[in-house]
């Protein structure tokens, strides 16, 4: 691809022609505008596009249900009894984990609650949870309600690391300062790997090490990080992590989520947890009433509760297989170029009208750029929608744009910037 960035349509088309991942766009269903043209879809940070292979994968399982019924649990292409195991290797590669450290199950917030049962151990002296501002609302709700169930006041037990006055993102030094000041009272640190609002990608390895240095458990919400930025959860020593699969992982609305438990914890079957029959040893699972005591597996599977929803897992498998073929290194390389191109085009616009609040350094961000609109932000977002650009708006004045490398093109980015420029400079 051309190294010199030019704000021309020709340049964007030339970059697309040189893109080694360009064929992947054809594997997705791109929404169409009324005139039949493709919309500019830059909302993969909210809901990824549908892989075309999903329909066939779901029809296959529907056929299994129709033709085999209960026998499909133990026969057919992928037996339902072990279906979740067919996703494990790919999911582990995606987040940089060992196979036994990962399980695909539930939804993100359910998994977060399950992890807090096991990893939040408040004592009289160490009872606080540290989060970033602004954390994703569901994380905040989960943490606050969990604190209350432990008899703790969120006003006292929840610590929030905030950006400095006049800044939009957190510096590591400020996170470290909070840890140094209150680390002896913080039992758990719970951050988003990539912040949903600003698009800031945190240095997860460094923050994990800082938390551990002060004896805190480290958990990550990877909703905006999985499938977006390279992850090495095992090597970084992360205690636990949770993520959803409907954003960058393109597995459909409300898709089955993922969970990571480091092997040093996964092997501890005496860790407190909520139990369910699918967390038991599969070799004894059907002893049913003959085995009334819950004995969890000594892997991440030991946190499962119920049998997996096969029709909901089929799209996840399609997506994970696609990530395996493309490879996160190649996807990240394109992402840096694609988002860098978008950033360079926006930086040419009047800063008194629009301003990128996402870090400029590639290591400090993933796909998403968050654009602060200083003048009539909702109206500006409305203009983008009218002109077949799909992105999202977050109150009070931020437009989030996420060119994802699996299906977005440099021409998508150019079209977005072209529309934005016309409306930003119109008067």
Cβ–Cβ under 8 Å, residues 401 and 416: yes
Q: Which CATH architecture has domain 59-324?
A: 3-Layer(aba) Sandwich (3.40)
Mean pLDDT, the chain, whole residue set: 96
Q: Where are the domains of the chain?
A: 9-30+328-424, 59-324
**Lowest mean per-residue pLDDT among 2-11, 50-59, 119-128:** 2-11
Strand segments, DSSP code E, in 262-344 are: none
Comparing CA positions, the residue from 341, 228, 264 lying closest to residue 2 is 341
Q: What is the pLDDT of residues 221-273, one digit of tens each?
A: 999 999 999 999 999 999 999 999 999 999 999 999 999 999 999 999 999 99
| pTM of the model as a whole | 0.96
Res. 60: pLDDT tops 70: yes
Q: Which fold has domain 9-30+328-424?
A: 3.90.1150
Identify the DSSP state of 6. -
Of 58, 48, 53, 60, which is closest to residue 27 (Cα–Cα)? 53
Strands (E), 359-413: 369-373, 389-390, 392-394, 398-401
pLDDT for residue 427: 61
Q: What is the mean pLDDT of residues 400-405?
A: 98
pLDDT of residue 283: 82
Alpha helices per DSSP H over 327-397: 328-346, 377-386
pLDDT of 373 strictly over 70: yes
- The pLDDT value recorded for residue 1 is 42
Task: Identify the pLDDT of residue 292.
Answer: 87
33: preceding bond cis by omega (within 30 degrees): no
Domains 9-30+328-424 and 59-324 share a fold: no
| Token pair for 295 | 């004995």
How would you label 61-90 residue by residue, b for 16+ Cβ within 10 Å and e otherwise? beebeeeeeeebbeebebbbbebbbbbbeb
Interior/surface letters 367-381, b for 16+ CB within 10 angstroms, e for the rest: bbbbbbbeeebeebb
- In the predicted model, is pLDDT for residue 2 greater than 60? no
Closest by CA position to 133, among listed 182, 188, 81, 192? 192
DSSP helix/strand/coil, 40: strand
pLDDT at 3 over 60: no
Is residue 5 scored above 60 in pLDDT?
Answer: yes
pLDDT at 189: 98
Overall average pLDDT of the 42-49 stretch: 98
């Amino acid at each position: 691809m051309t190294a010199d960035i030019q704000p021309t349509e020709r340049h964007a088309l030339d970059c697309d022609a040189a893109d080694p991942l360009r064929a992947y766009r054809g594997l997705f269903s791109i929404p169409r505008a009324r005139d039949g043209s493709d919309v500019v879809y830059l909302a993969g940070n909210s809901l990824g596009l549908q892989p075309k292979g999903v329909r066939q994968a779901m029809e296959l399982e529907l056929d299994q249900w129709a033709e085999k019924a209960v026998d499909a649990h133990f026969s057919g292409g992928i037996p339902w009894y072990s279906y979740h195991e067919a996703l494990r290797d790919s999911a582990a590669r995606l987040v940089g984990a060992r196979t036994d450290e990962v399980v695909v199950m539930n939804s993100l917030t359910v998994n977060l609650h399950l992890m807090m049962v096991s990893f939040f151990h408040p004592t009289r002296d160490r009872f606080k949870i540290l989060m970033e501002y602004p954390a994703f609302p569901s994380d905040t709700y989960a943490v606050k309600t969990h604190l209350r169930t432990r008899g703790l006041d969120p006003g006292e037990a929840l610590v929030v690391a905030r950006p400095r006055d006049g800044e939009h993102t957190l510096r590591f030094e400020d996170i470290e300062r909070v840890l140094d000041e209150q680390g002896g009272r913080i039992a758990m640190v719970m951050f988003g790997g990539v912040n949903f609002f600003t698009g800031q990608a945190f240095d997860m390895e460094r923050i994990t090490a800082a938390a551990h240095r002060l004896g805190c458990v480290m958990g990550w919400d990877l909703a905006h990080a999985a499938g977006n930025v390279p992850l090495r959860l095992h090597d970084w020593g992360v205690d636990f992590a949770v993520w959803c699969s409907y954003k960058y992982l393109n597995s459909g609305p409300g898709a089955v989520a993922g969970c990571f438990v480091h092997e040093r914890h996964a092997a501890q079957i005496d860790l407190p947890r909520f139990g369910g029959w699918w967390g038991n040893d599969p070799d004894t699972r059907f002893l049913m009433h003959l085995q009334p005591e819950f004995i969890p597996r000594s892997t991440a599977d030991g946190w499962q509760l119920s049998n997996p929803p096969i029709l909901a897992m089929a799209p996840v498998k399609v997506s994970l297989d696609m990530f395996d073929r493309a490879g996160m290194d190649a996807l990240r390389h394109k992402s840096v170029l694609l988002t860098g191109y978008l950033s360079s085009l926006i930086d040419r616009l009047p800063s008194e009208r629009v301003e990128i609040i996402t870090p400029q350094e590639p290591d400090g961000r993933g796909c998403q750029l968050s654009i602060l609109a200083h003048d009539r932000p909702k109206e500006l977002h409305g203009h983008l929608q009218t002109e077949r650009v799909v992105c999202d708006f977050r109150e009070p004045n931020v437009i989030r744009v996420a060119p994802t490398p699996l299906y977005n093109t440099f021409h998508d980015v150019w079209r977005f910037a072209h529309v934005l420029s016309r409306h930003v400079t119109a008067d």
